Amino acid sequence: MNSRHIPRLPTVTPPDKEPLTLPFNGRYVSDRIMSYSFSCLDRFHALFNLGNDKTQSESVAKEWFLDLLDCLKEVGGKTIQEMKTSPWCLHPVDWRHANVRCPTHEQQHEYWQFRLGKSRGRIIGIKIDGLFYVVWLDAHHNLTDSEGYGVAKIYCNPLSEYERLLIEKERLEIENRNLLNLLDQKTQ
C-alpha cells in the first residue's frame, strides 16, 4: 500500500517573537506592518467608481492601476509609523472637509487615507491594527476639493470586461435576428 507523504510547511518565527496572526508574503501582520484587504471595496460610489472622461464606459487609464499596484507593493512592508511620516502621508479622513459623508453603518471605524503617489490619487479605507481595508480608490482626488484638482468630478461607472462582452453579445444577437428576418423576406 502506497502511503503518500505530505510535507509539512516549516514554521517561521518572526524576528520580534510577537504572537502570529496571519502569514502574509513571508511576513506577519501586526500593528506595525501594512497589509490590505479589498473585501470592503466600493467601486460603484459616484465619486470613487474609477470612471474617466474619455468615454462613458471606460475606467481610468491602465497606467493608473499599475501605479496602484506599485504603491501597494512598496508600502506593504512599511510600518504604520513609517506610513504616517512618509510621502504617502497616512492620516485619518477629516470628514468636515470631505465631499462625502462618513458611511453611517461604518461610523464605529475610523477611516484613513494615504497617497498613491504625488498627484496620483488616494486610497481610502478602514485601518484595523495592521490591516487596511480598502473602501475607495480616489483616482480623481474627489474626497476633498483641493487646489490644483478643483471640485469633485463624477463619471459614469466603468464597465467590466464581462459587461462589455454581454453588451456586444446582445448587439450581435439583434443583428443576427435582423439579418435572418431580411433573409426570410428575400427568399419568400
Question: What pLDDT, on the 0 to 100 scale, is given for residue 169?
Answer: 95
Q: How many helices (H) and strands (E) does the chain have?
A: 3, 7
Identify the pLDDT of residue 56. Answer: 60
Strand partners for 123: 114, 137
**What was the pLDDT predicted at 122?**
92
Is 141 in contact with 149 (CB distance < 8 Å)? Answer: yes
Residues 6+ apart with CB under 8 A from 32: 79, 80, 81, 130
The three three-digit cell numbers of residue 81, written as one number: 509609523
94: left (phi over 0), alpha (psi -120 to 50) or beta: beta
pLDDT averaged over consecutive 10-residue blocks of the chain (188 residues)?
A: 45 47 48 76 88 71 86 83 84 88 70 84 85 89 80 82 90 95 90
The pLDDT of residue 23 is: 45
Q: State the pLDDT at residue 167.
A: 92
According to the model, what pLDDT value does residue 108 have? Answer: 64
**CB within 8 A of 27, min separation 6: which ones?**
14, 33, 77
- The three cell numbers locating residue 27: 511576513
